[in-house]
Amino acid sequence: MKIISAQEHPALESSSAITLANDVDPRTLDLTGVTRIDLQFPAFTDGRAYSQAFLLRRRLRFAGELRATGDVLIDQLVQMERTGFDVAVLKDGVNASAAQRQLDRYAGFYQGSAVETQPQFAVGVRPPSR
């Protein structure tokens, strides 16, 4: 996951990038030509963007960039990455190097995620032949 500061987050200037409010159902959108979706966390206690990210990755098979914006804190980054986010735009005042250390702390997970659906023990295992 890429971590950027709020100052490094450019305004959307293209029709291929959209901002999605956290109360919008992604299944209602036409994602043709969309390469980036900014999902909003208006408060760190509001986790609806996690569900949106999961829906976009798993059900809608969105392969473009998912960007977490708003009240993004360090302790949310691992869960954001596991639900399908590619980029996290940190809230003003949050230290980017501390955020990277938090991500680096967890090199792998036993369970699957929104992006890598197989659990760690099953990665590279072939099903038995009949």
Per the DSSP assignment, residues forming a β-bridge with 69 are 40
Q: What is the pLDDT of residues 32-58, one digit of tens each?
A: 999 999 999 999 889 999 999 999 998
pLDDT digits (tens, 9 = 90+) for 72-109: 999 899 889 889 999 999 988 888 999 998 888 877 66
Please identify, in words, the CATH class of the domain defined by 2-122: alpha beta
Question: Per-residue pLDDT tens for 112-123?
Answer: 666 776 666 666
pTM for the predicted model, two decimal places: 0.80
- Assess contact for 6 and 91: CB atoms under 8 A: yes
Say which residues have a Cβ less than 8 Å from residue 50's Cβ, sequence separation at least 6.
Answer: 79, 80, 83
